[in-house]
Amino acid sequence: MKSSEKLRTFHRTWYNSSIMKKYNNRVGNGKEDLLKLCTLSGTTEIGRNSNFIQYKDEIIMIDAGYSFPGQEMYGIDYLIPNTKYLKKQKKNIKAILITHGHLDHIGALRWILPELDYPPIYAGGFAKSLIEAKMKEYKLEKKVKIYGVDRKSQIQIGKYFKATFVGINHSIPDAFSIFIQSPRGNIFFSGDFKFDLTPANEPQSDYEKLKSLRGRVDLALIESTNATVPGRAPSEKMISENLLEIISKQKGRVIVSAFSSLITRLYSLIDIAKKTNRKVLLAGRSLDLAIKIARENGYIKVEDNLFIKDKDINKYPDNQLLILCTGSQGERFAVLNRISLNEHRNIRIKRGDLVIMSSSEIPENISNIERMTDRLISLGAELMKDTVNMKIHSTGHGNQEDIRAMVEFIRPKYVMPIHGSLTFRYFNKQNLEKWGINPNNILLTDDGQVWEYSNWQWKRGKNIESKPILIDGLGVGDIGDMVLKDRKQLAEYGIFSVILNLSANTHKILGKPKFLSRGFIYFKNSQSLLKEITNTIFDEHRTWLSNEQNRAKPDYDKFKESLEKSLAKLIYKKTEREPIIMVSMI
């Protein structure tokens, strides 16, 4: 019998099975007795992952990551999950469980933990070390309790929850799926995963443990990142072999840009450096930290003399150098971008250098990446990117056949596609239906959506506040929609300022109005517009003065508001632009 037919049979017979009788005894009646799941954030995108489960007076959070802002969020550094509901329930939060150590799963902890009175954290060894380093950086290490877990861990949390950690492959050591049991139902979180039969420097996913969950999973949250990509995700071993072939043939320096958190790739590249008799230069603070933690925890075992400092780069022949650097997304101050701008103190591009982009391109970063690679090529570098014909990057997320295998291993009663836009989750849903899952048992959710498990069914509850908290420098949540709107307006149209000198006695305008423009118009070429603006100012002032003559104290705010509206109307009519207009009176 085909796997899809097995799944159809499983879902068709479940309601009449002995399992149902067991569940009949397990489900309570009262509202307070319901098992609740909230897909708090990261459900409808890739990033800012955080969910929580609640039963009676106990809550468990799963992950607390951040995401990067879109181009329309001017000046914003990060977006983190909204904790308004959780802050009211902070005494009930028993733990935060971490699936793996990427920042879209742990990056928000430094802001969230103080808000929630520092609940204990359970994380795999590598994620634990990354979190500890970050907590130490922000002087929070004495307040945070972090417990290590491994592939054998089964932990009782509070009175009602038991968490089982299932080892899976991703692109970072110690990645887990998490299975949570409660008196009223069981939930499975896939985390970010792929099934790699030949992983680099880590064991395969724990297939037998996944299979042991069959018949026990009431709801599985399954990632949708590569739901539109057929086949299986490429193996890390194949990527390593391709990189070895390329680097061993290169006569000059090799510069490889990769995510600093992609430890499996960095392990392969360091191993390649040993095989090709090259010294390794780590360029980038986050890369230095990641390798330091990987070495301290035994994920990368190598002698100190393999690494060199950037100040010693000229001491070695070009064919004995492998430079690992950050900046694969064209980030302004990352190392590779600074190299492309000739801003790096010790690394300069020269003819014969090979730059390898061993990473995926995040769509909103493509224009920045292309500008960076244009500069690198113009400086004389050769450039290599991941292609169908030469794979030098492997995703850490499962393709369609990996997702199908996960569903077949655990055979959940309900499935909830997450971790992707609605388009990606829609196609994941279509695939799941094709593979035999009952369409009524596939749930599409939203950020902030609460789900309640009752009478063997998942039903939508009330939404909670989920609008992301914006981080701007040291400011947390102090940037609202109006500020973002102003920043967008400034970026697109600039600012136009009018300065008026008013008599304290007569309230008449003294002299001529003064103007200041930034990013709006060039005064020398806009004299006719400035004349019309001046006339409008005097017209508005005349009207205001006439209306205010009987008042003991003139309403300057009313004049300012009226003048700004009139100028905005005139400027849009003449230029079809909408600069921020500011009127100052002295």
Q: How would residue 5 be classed by pLDDT, with cut points 50, 70 and 90?
A: low
Among 41, 143, 49, 19, smallest CA distance to 465 is for 41
Among 55-69, 93-107, 109-123, 473-487, the minimum mean pLDDT is found in: 473-487
Which domain, by its residues, includes 314?
A: 236-385
Domain of 498: which CATH number?
3.10.20.580
Question: Edge-to-edge, what's the strand order for the sheet holding 382-385?
Answer: 307-308, 279-283, 321-325, 254-257, 354-357, 382-385
Task: Beginning with the edge strand found earlier in the chain, give each strand of the sheet holding 514-518 in spatial order.
Answer: 514-518, 495-500, 580-585
Given this model, what pLDDT does residue 473 score? 55
pTM metric for this prediction: 0.81
What pLDDT, on a 0 to 100 scale, did the predictor assign at position 549? 75
- Chain segment 516-567, per-residue pLDDT in tens: 888 887 788 888 888 988 898 888 888 888 887 777 788 888 888 888 889 9
User: What pLDDT score does 481 carry?
Assistant: 62
Question: Is position 193 within any domain?
Answer: yes
Q: Are residues 245 and 364 in the same domain?
A: yes
Task: Answer yes or no: are the C-beta atoms of 202 and 264 closer than 8 Å.
Answer: yes
In a shared domain, residues 111 and 204? yes
Last residue of a domain, one of 327, 358, 385: 385
* Single-letter amino acid code for the residue at 500: L
Answer whether residue 483 is part of any domain: no
Whether 181 and 114 have beta carbons less than 8 Å apart is answered as no
**122 and 175 share one domain:** yes
Report the 10 Å Cβ neighbour count for 550: 6
> Angle of helix 400-410 relative to helix 422-434, nearest 10 degrees?
60
Q: What is the pLDDT of residues 290-340, one digit of tens each?
A: 999 999 989 899 999 999 998 999 999 999 999 999 999 888 889 999 999
Same domain, 135 and 216: yes
Neighbouring CB atoms inside 10 A of 368's CB total: 18
Q: Residue 313: inside a domain, yes or no?
A: yes
Clarify whether residues 326 and 400 are in a common domain: no
Per-residue pLDDT tens digits for 231-265: 999 999 999 999 999 999 999 999 999 988 888 89
- Max Cα–Cα distance, the chain, nearest Å: 95
Residue 32 is assigned to a structural domain of this protein = no
**Per-chain mean pLDDT for the chain:** 89
89: pLDDT strictly greater than 80: yes
* 240 and 107 within one domain: no
- Evaluate if residue 404 carries a pLDDT over 80: yes
Q: Is 59 a domain residue?
A: yes
According to the model, what pLDDT value does residue 147 have? Answer: 97
* Shared-domain flag, residues 411 and 446: yes
**Residue 31 maps to a domain:** no
Position 423 confidence tier, pLDDT thresholds 50, 70, 90:
very high
Which CATH number does the domain housing residue 422 bear?
3.60.15.10
pLDDT digits (tens, 9 = 90+) for 155-211: 999 999 999 999 999 999 999 999 999 999 999 999 999 999 999 888 999 999 999
